[in-house]
């Protein structure tokens, strides 16, 4: 991505970076170059990742679970305020174990990402979703047994 660092940040510029991040996830391209070297990333059930080395390790661990993912770009909801951009959306995909998920069909697939984007780099990304893509953790939730 070749955005000059001197260009002012707008809500549209932040949306572009967030969308580029999600498209790169879907196609298996490098996402780390979109992050500041001191960025933080949170993913459920993982320790908070600080800096590119820890973020690389976190994405590597999560990547061991997911064989393919596709985000539904046309249906994203965006909320922007200052450096913060919230993106809510849906996804579908396949785990490395062969289980599939699709938002609205299985329990997985709805998510919300909270980005802080400054100086054309992701400074902070907190990912909120249920990481049980395979619906394997239903025994602890009685309402799922009735579904």
Read off the pLDDT of residues 82-109 as tens digits, 9 standing for 90 and up: 999 999 999 999 999 999 999 999 989 9
Confidence (pLDDT) at 110: 97
Going along the chain, which residue ranges are E strands? 35-42, 49-50, 66-71, 77-81, 84-95, 100-102, 110-118, 121-129
Q: Check pLDDT > 70 for residue 121.
A: yes
Q: Check pLDDT > 90 for residue 3.
A: no
Higher-confidence residue: 6 or 72? Answer: 72
Confidence (pLDDT) at 26: 97
Higher-confidence residue: 60 or 146? Answer: 60
For domain 11-145, which CATH number applies: 3.30.450.60, 3.10.450.50, 1.10.10.10, 3.40.50.300?
A: 3.10.450.50
Domain boundaries, the chain: 11-145
Q: Check pLDDT > 70 for residue 29.
A: yes
């Amino acid at each position: 991505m070749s955005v000059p660092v001197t260009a002012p940040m707008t809500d549209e510029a932040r949306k572009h970076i967030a969308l580029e991040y999600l498209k790169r996830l879907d196609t298996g391209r490098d996402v780390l170059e979109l992050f500041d070297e001191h960025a933080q990333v949170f993913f459920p059930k993982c320790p908070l990742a600080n800096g590119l080395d820890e973020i690389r390790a976190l994405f590597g661990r999560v990547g061991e679970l997911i064989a393919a993912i596709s985000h539904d770009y046309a249906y994203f909801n965006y909320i922007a305020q200052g450096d913060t951009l919230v993106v809510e959306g849906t996804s579908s995909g396949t785990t490395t174990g062969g289980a599939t998920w699709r938002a609205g069909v299985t329990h997985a697939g709805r998510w919300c990402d909270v980005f802080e984007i400054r100086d054309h780099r992701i400074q902070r990304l907190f990912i909120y979703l249920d990481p049980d893509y395979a619906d394997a953790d239903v025994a602890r939730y009685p309402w799922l047994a009735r579904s």
